[in-house]
Structure 1
Amino acid sequence: MKKINFKRFKLRQVSAAELNDRLLLINLYITQGLTLIIGLLWVIFQRRNPLTLFQWPEGFEFIYWAVGLSVLVLSADLLMGRFVPEEAMDDGGINDMLFRKRPIWHIVVISAIVAICEELLFRGAIQYAFGPYWTSILFAVIHVRYLRHWVPTGIVFAISYGLGFIYIQTGTLWAPIITHFIVDLVLGLIIRFRRD
């Protein structure tokens, strides 16, 4: 059996220019897989059943919360796109690289995977332990590509707090999952079809 030399592996930050499409997708799916595993384990260690978090609620009120927050977030993003300088919103080109040439079906898949994995960890597990404020701080820190500029970091924090709020109001994880999915999907499609 061949041994793996872990000393050869080095972690370092890379810029968008150093990434190719394949490496970006591998990184995305690995991080989302880890997010899902950590979220599931955290919920289990809290002595809760992860399957109950994904039970579909009886009424449809949670959908109004989800769509309402989605409209609010997308409207705010549209306004900021008009009035905030582009360099203040720069994420290093990652979103553009991720969505610009991606087929629509793949944007849908990416948006769904990210929404489910991140909401399970952040709203389903972390918020249960620490509440929406500290969860939102962690959520903003995890989106490290925005930390170079205070505007997108503040936006990510506010969106996360909104997701936590609708989770508390509706009592179902599906409300923040749907919101997260709609926002990522619409912004991904805007990037995909935007003209330079």
Structure 2
Amino acid sequence: MKKFDIKKIKLRQVSVDQIDDKLLLINLYLTQLLTLIIGIVWLLFQHRNPIHLLQFPEQSNFWMYGVGLTAVVIAVDVLISKFVPDHASDDGGVNERLFRKRPVWHIVVMSFIVAVCEEMLFRGAMQQSFGPYWVSIIFAAIHVRYLRHWIPTGLVFSISYGLGWIYIQSGTLWAPILTHFLVDTIMGLIIRFRRYDEE
């Protein structure tokens, strides 16, 4: 029997252009599933109930925090795209590949799944342990495709800190989930329709 030699395993960097659409989506959904599982396990270790965390609050004013932060994020992004060259905010083409030819319903579904899974882990579980500042550093670091440029890295950190702040102010995870969902959906739709118009 042939022995397995771990030294013969070679890792190579793969660009987004080398991944087909199906594999890109599988990667996205598996990553979100893993994020959700880690978030739920973390919450259980904190002796907190993930289901209670997702209960809608009795006061419905949480949406004002979510919509307000969304408006700020979109306004800043529009200003950045107007005054900053494209190469300074390049993410390696990941967002364009994810949203460019996707049906609108799929952009909405993706955005909702990402918002719930990531907010459950970062705001719901991790913020309890580390606070919004350190969670925002971790959140920016895991969005590795932005790390080549300081503008998108700073934007991701700022958005994350804002999500942590509205979670504290509103007292419900639905405020950051709403913002995350709206920002991803709006940006996804902008990419989808803007790119189609230019082609």
| TM range, smaller chain | over 0.9
Distance 1:52-1:96 versus aligned 2 partners, 3 A rule: same
Distance 1:151-1:47 versus aligned 2 partners, 3 A rule: same
Distance 1:10-1:42 versus aligned 2 partners, 3 A rule: farther
Aligned partner of 1:39 in structure 2 is: 39
Distance 1:48-1:6 versus aligned 2 partners, 3 A rule: farther
Aligned partner of 2:183 in structure 1 is: 183
1:58 aligned counterpart, secondary structure: coil
Aligned partner of 1:122 in structure 2 is: 122
Q: Which runs of 4+ in 1 moved over 6 A?
A: none
2:47 aligned counterpart, secondary structure: coil
Aligned partner of 1:90 in structure 2 is: 90
Q: TM-score w.r.t. structure 1 length?
A: 0.94
1:9 is displaced (CA, Å) by 7.2
Aligned partner of 2:152 in structure 1 is: 152
Matches of 1:31 and 1:119 in 2, distance apart?
A: 14
Deviations 1:122-171 (A, max 9, x none): 00011010000000000000100000000000000000000000000001
Aligned length in residues: 192
1:33 aligned counterpart, secondary structure: helix
> Are 1:135 and 2:151 an aligned pair?
no
Which amino acid is 1:39 matched to?
Answer: G
1:56 is displaced (CA, Å) by 0.3
1:19 is displaced (CA, Å) by 1.2
Distance 1:6-1:181 versus aligned 2 partners, 3 A rule: farther
Matches of 2:159 and 2:128 in 1, distance apart?
A: 18
> Are 1:19 and 2:19 an aligned pair?
yes
Deviations 1:90-123 (A, max 9, x none): 0000000000000011001100000000000000
Matches of 1:74 and 1:6 in 2, distance apart?
A: 50
Deviations 1:68-98 (A, max 9, x none): 0000000100010000110000000000000
Which amino acid is 1:139 matched to?
Answer: F
Distance 1:105-1:11 versus aligned 2 partners, 3 A rule: farther
Matches of 1:81 and 1:22 in 2, distance apart?
A: 29
Mapping of residues 44-55 of structure 1, within 5 Å: 44-55=44-55
Matches of 1:10 and 1:36 in 2, distance apart?
A: 30
1:60 aligned counterpart, secondary structure: coil
Matches of 2:126 and 2:183 in 1, distance apart?
A: 21
Matches of 2:168 and 2:52 in 1, distance apart?
A: 15
Cα RMSD of the aligned pairs, angstroms, is 1.5
1:43 aligned counterpart, secondary structure: helix
5+ long unaligned stretches in structure 1: none
Aligned partner of 1:168 in structure 2 is: 168
Q: TM-score w.r.t. structure 2 length?
A: 0.93
Q: Which has the larger radius of gyration?
A: 2
